[in-house]
Amino acid sequence: MKEAQPYTWVVTREQIRAYAEASGDRNPIHLDDDAARAAGLPGVIAHGMLGMAQLANFVVGWTGDHRRLRRLRCRFSAMILPGDQITFSGRVAGEHDGLVELDLEAQNQKGERVLTKGLAEVSAS
């Protein structure tokens, strides 16, 4: 398999709002700074699933057709905030039963790991 294509994601409030609308997850911690602060957060945060969607974009850009993706997993380890620049990385961890296993992670601009325990399984053909 070829090397991963670098993938960087710049997080904006507009995209978080668009994701809330498109996904139906309108939890105010993603939309309203006051509500987010009332919940003990610094302000609005991105949906974990928006981060995972970027992880999927990264994997699909790397492996080609999304229909080959058999499994995708991650842990949301740190908050993703508007203005963050998130960089995705991955490596081939192994191959079994016709599946290529990828180890994945994402870091923010401070080097903090925001997505960990990332795993994808992609059918080899």
Partner 1 sequence: MSNVAGKRYPAVETTLEPEHVRAFAEAIGADPDAGVPPTYAAVYALFSTAAQLYGDEDAAVDFQHLLHSEQEFSWTRHPEVGETVVAGGRVEEDVERRNLRFLTYATSVESAGEPLCTSRMVNVIRG
Residues found near partner 1 in the complex (CB under 8 A): 9, 15, 18-19, 21-25, 27-29, 35, 38-40, 47-50, 52-54, 56-57, 60, 66-67, 69-76, 117, 121
Q: What amino acid is encoded at 58 in this protein?
A: F
Q: Whose Cβ is closer to partner 1: residue 1's or residue 38's?
A: 38
Q: Whose Cβ is closer to partner 1: residue 72's or residue 92's?
A: 72
Residue 40, beta-bridge partner list: none
Q: Which two tokens stand for residue 23?
A: 């996904």
Q: How far is the CB of 54 from partner 1 (least distance, A)?
A: 7
Residue 43, beta-bridge partner list: none
Q: Give residue 98's region: left, alpha or beta (phi > 0; psi -120 to 50).
A: left
